[in-house]
Structure 1
Amino acid sequence: MPQMAPLWWEMLFIMFFMSYMIINIMIFFNKNNTFKTSNKINKMSPQPNWLW
């Protein structure tokens, strides 16, 4: 039925857009968590005292 083609294209576009947004949100929170853990690691490591 060619009358149903626009509905399928719309559903395909919506599913692609939703998956794209979810992947971007997951990447954002993953980067945010890695920055927090890297800051904690840097704060826990002893800082050298350079005497110039």
Structure 2
Amino acid sequence: MPQMAPMNWLTLFIFFTITFITLNSMNFFQTNYSPKTSKKSKISKTINWKW
């Protein structure tokens, strides 16, 4: 029946949207991001403010 075709399009759209979201979220959460540890440079001089 051609009247039921939009129903099929809607279910396909929902199916592919859910698949897209789940695959993207799996890809995002499975990658292991290691933050860069920056070493702070220590200033050995003490700054004397002369006002």
Give TM-score, length-normalised by structure 2: 0.62
Among 28, 33, 36, the residue aligned to 1:35: 33
Deviations 1:1-42 (A, max 9, x none): 0000000000000000000000000001011xx225xx6xxx
**As a proportion of its length, which structure holds more helix?**
1
Structure 1 or 2, whichever has the larger Rg, is 2
Q: Which residue matches 1:19? A: 19
Q: Name stretches of at least 5 consecutive residues in structure 2 with no aligned partner.
A: 36-51
The size of the alignment, in residue pairs, is: 35
Give me the CA root mean square deviation: 1.3
Give TM-score, length-normalised by structure 1: 0.61
* Letter paired with 1:35: Y
Over 3 Å off, 4+ runs:
none
Q: Name stretches of at least 5 consecutive residues in structure 1 with no aligned partner.
A: 40-52
